Structure 1
């Protein structure tokens, strides 16, 4: 029932906030322990993910109507209010009175004396829903966008400097959209047309993705009804699929992937190579490396050799025809998919991550053959982690050149003159992904 769903959503939200956990992992773990229907599990996911996306706006609304300073409120009180306000403001098919009544009933379980406070604040917010005192867009654009579109102020200020108010607003608005679910067909086992037909039998509405030959966009139904263990697909956004495609790996080649966990791009490359050749999957985290091999087993990819190690240091690896660097990054291109990340990331992280990215590229030089190709990909759009990293590398490595990915650019509607690929959620409807190709000269 919806009541149980709301209480489980509160439990998950508290867990995410108290330990700065990943929302997707916490949702998966907690929902697996329940006997909720598919419909109620979907409601829990919507409440948790939606509240995280809109948390900046919601917290401002709480501040406007609270007679207690926001930072003095207990976490559980904040989250009861957040979940209720999300339902009132952003979900059309839940009656406002139901959201308020359930919030009041939930707080009675934890702190009965706070029930009048919860009830009064929510009813005041509801009465004034259409007359909130938003910051002036022209006079205070950073504050306006930060509050209206629920993004950290430091991030909005950076974006305004880089792209101006119109594009910043488009990016932030798109970050709050529910991300589309995309599958990568496992072509080692099934073709895309056949998989779409099998999905339809399970009442899952699906259509071909527009940019890659393997992708399928889920339009309706629950993919859980098909079964993840089938090995017929891997959940992967088309932008990520394009990063693997850009490597252009051939059957029989030696490939290295740095920072390979959890294995999405690894298994895609193995699929493109038709299980012929070798892929050395390097990952510093043992658990993530196990995930790589688990996914290889599930998808029938048999040419991957796991390497546990720090890719910023010299490792015992062979010379490779191609190298994919799936570098750790700020993740600011996937905020619609990772709603918790916008509140966990700090501005100083960007510089720290750029240093790691530099080291990964410099170490990759040791393993690449003459005329070999290095693909550098990150799911972000900050200048420091994208073009700056590549510019710095090219200046210090004169035996490399930037190779344009013209065919992929054309598919995405980008100029074929672009040196790099940069997807944007508000333009292509994909995750924000940066991809650069670096060719070692003979």
Structure 2
């Protein structure tokens, strides 16, 4: 197994610098004044050391497909993206799906993301997307931990075999049950969608992650049904509501009541700044709303909220590179979260809060006895990391360095002596 010694590490929320001793792939000691001989040593140089970033919401079956589609998403809307994806599905192969997803896994590793939850479209009778991502999950488990969600992209009840396909996806090996109630044809079927997800989750003993109220329609209120099921079935802490963008447009009196119910239900909420900022509220005209869920109000009520990347170069979002700090930086702007303490919360939302959503707290974090998965950032604190969308100098998996980045060197020739610029505030 792998052993490593890290010195001069800045840990979040702690004064001074620390050492981290890794033995046999696990963290054995953290503190000051640890002395070792003969181990490979990394000098963090006073930079911030964090547990790996977590992406709790991505679609690895669609990544990198923006450039190989028969037509681009000219309107940039959610509905056209769904249509394009539907046109592409008959031409998907396991080779294409795994090749694209594996490339993005490499991007994730370079960006310090070692925990991922991916949705796999299970609306197609072949279930090739589910099979491909389940296989990929097992093939890359030494590098990155992946959860696969059985996701009925087209809804469960828009087709006669929708529920059977969802069940088969779980039998194949999907880790999480997904749904899409706002896609169903009627309100009644949307409620059935949510109830079916909970019934299957109980039967298969799986976590839940539902695409829900992903619209600007203030009448889309399926998250209340989800919260009720969570409470009545005792599923607290085991379910995530993804997107909930309609909440942005809810009547404030209703929203205030809903927030309390979500807290009682111990729901996990996932906001996706990249997609939500460009896909939602497209029909507003002006003034135009921001199109994401009520992040600040949810946090203020004690609800767990985390950040997902969602799409990476696909019909829904043609940009992105798997950088979770960039997602946090965007949310700082679109959710009015640029206050001092809120920057710290943003970092929590791509680390510990996301880990809570994935229910992996027992094996995640910088604590003795836990797997030695960690990232050394090119930043001294949370604020600098978010401001600069900092590079990951080192990415370490079970005590082994699996990625190393040399930051850009910018040299100015404006004085007699050349000088470098790194956008930091000097040595501290």
Q: TM-score, normalised by structure 1?
A: 0.29
More helix by share: 1
More strand by share: 2
Q: TM-score, normalised by structure 2?
A: 0.29
Larger Rg: 1 or 2? 1
Between the two structures, name the one with larger relative contact order (CA 8 Å, sep ≥ 6).
2
